[in-house]
Every structure is written in structure tokens, then in C-alpha cells.
Copies of this chain bind each other. A is one copy, B any other.
Amino acid sequence: MTEIAWQQKDLLSIADLSAAEIQLVLDTASSFREVSARPVKKVPTLRGKTVINLFFEPSTRTRSSFEIAEKRLSADSLNFSASSSGLVKGESLVDTALNLQAMAPDLIVIRHGHPGVPRMLAERVSAGVINAGDGAWGHPTQALLDAFTIREEKGKLEGLKVAMVGDIAHSRVVRSNIELLNTMGAEVTVAGPRTMMPVAVETLGVRAVYSLEEAIRGADVVMMLRVQLERHKKVMFPSVREYFQLFGLTRERLRSAKRDAIVMHPGPMNRGVEIASDVADGSRSVILEQVANGVAVRMAVLYLLSGARQEAGA
């Protein structure tokens, strides 16, 4: 049983969280999980709280997950997208932050193309700030929903063998997941083409290999990463077909993982590129559970951050 109280104002990076805090988020998410299964999918928890969703990059999936979480908690949510709104016409991000703060939001959910922007924002505002993805590396709520999903399936995180396969260098979910899994005592192996592997990847505390088979051998969890076709197609590997032959997860290859291994993907999937369709839709796939759990985990984070602020203010 977790006994600690939540103290953090913000959720910026998994590296800021202790194992006990991660546990607390996951436990809290468990209790919110059933809200989305009710006929009346709504609790009054955040009534009268203002949440600003500040997306400088388009993200249907993450934004909608947060927005649904906010509405099911009865918060008032506002959406700003940089493109549609003329945000920051000649205004610095700091001024934008101060202006938002002046409108007295309780929480700000931010996605930005540059790493560190959420932290910069958090330092300037008294509102709680949630990093919904910054640049290619940080995406803490994705790591938390992945961990929640693994824990639901496996009952624990400690001691599990987790393989992550694909574009290790550019996927938004890799670093946060590694940090979380390391903190919780799981063992991570990453694999991908050399062109998609960051320099000195082992310093992140993982084993790095260059073959899919080697990565998933004996794994409890196989996380396939999205190949950003629009970005890489011609530069980093000769062809989609070749990528699939080398790093695509097929039913046959999955056999080298544990018999009860689960298959994950942060979406959106390229079927036939990083994952075969029958695996994506197969009985070991928990890809849609990840999406469903995302709402619960974000409800938990919104709830904990808003609660911490109330205590601090009282």
C-alpha cells in the first residue's frame, strides 16, 4: 500500500518521480479506471478547476485523452493550439506563460516541440504543469499509462523483461519509459537499426542490441515503436519492406518472447511496417488497453496535481 502524499506541483519528467510516487499515480489511476465504464462517466472531483490544454504541436490522441479525462473529472477545459489561434504573435513564451497565469488556471497541459519548454513554463506559473510531450524524448503520461497497462497485465513491474524495438532515437516515448521502468526495477532492452539508435544509448541504463529477435527473446513485454515514415522513409533505411523484414513484429517472431508476453504500441501504428496486422489485433496485443488506460492515468495525474495545489494553498 502506498502511504505517501503527493507533493509535486508539476509532472514534467519521470526522472522527477520516486518509485513510491509512480506507485501512487498507478494506484490512483486504478480507482479512476472504472469511472469510464459507468453509465454516468463523470465525477465532480475537479469542478470549478480551470485546465488549459496548450498544444504547440498537433496531437489528436494525447489531447483528446487529456480532454476526456478533464471532462470526466468535471474540470473546465480550454484548448489552445498554436496554429489555429495566432498564439504568441511576436510574444515570447515567457510572456504567454505569464498571461495564462494571470487568468488563474489550476493546471496547464502543454505539448511543445522543444524539450525543456514545459519546465520553463512550470517555473514561471503557480498553476500545475503537465508535460504532454516535449521534443523527441519526454512524455511522462505515456510512460505512466504504459506502466499501468503492464501492471494490469502482469501484476507488477519489478523484474520484468521489457523490449523496445524501432526508432529508439526519435520516438517520444522511449526516454520516459526507460526512466520509469528502471526506477521500478524492470530490465529494458532496446533494438533498432543503427541509424535509429542514439549515441551511447547504454548510458540510459538499457541493454542495446541490433536485432529484433535478440531483443525480444524471453521478454515479458514487447513495445513496438512507430516509424515516422514521413520523416525517415528515404534517409534511414532503404525501404518499408526491408524495415518490416528486419524489425517488424510478426507472429512467428513473437514466439521468441515469453509465452504470455504482451505486445504494446503507443500508436498510431503503421501496420505492415513495424508490426504485422495480425499481431496488432491478436490476443497478446494490449494496444487498445493502453488507450483506455491513458484516460484513467491522466485523470489520476490531473487529480493528484490539483490536490497537491489545494493542500499547499490551505
* Interface residue ranges, A against B (CB under 8 Å): 36-42, 47-50, 52, 58-61, 63-65, 67-68, 71-72, 76, 78, 80-81, 83-92, 95-96, 98-106, 229-230, 267-271, 288-289, 291-292, 294-295, 310, 313
Contacts and interface: CB of A to CB of B under 8 A. Distances in A.
A278 to B, nearest CB: 14
Given A68-B103, A90-B229, A95-B267, A310 B61 contact: no
A130 to B, nearest CB: 18
For this chain, the copies found in one complex come to 3
B76 A50 contact: no
Contacts of A68: 50, 76, 78, 103, 105
12 contacts: A41-B76, A42-B48, A58-B84, A58-B85, A63-B85, A68-B78, A68-B103, A90-B229, A95-B271, A98-B288, A99-B267, A99-B268
Contacts of A65: 103
A269 B95 contact: yes
A104 B42 contact: no
A38 B48 contact: yes
A92 to B, nearest CB: 7
Contacts of A71: 50, 76, 78
A131 B65 CA distance: 23
A87 B67 CA distance: 15
Contacts of A270: 90
Nearest to A295: B103
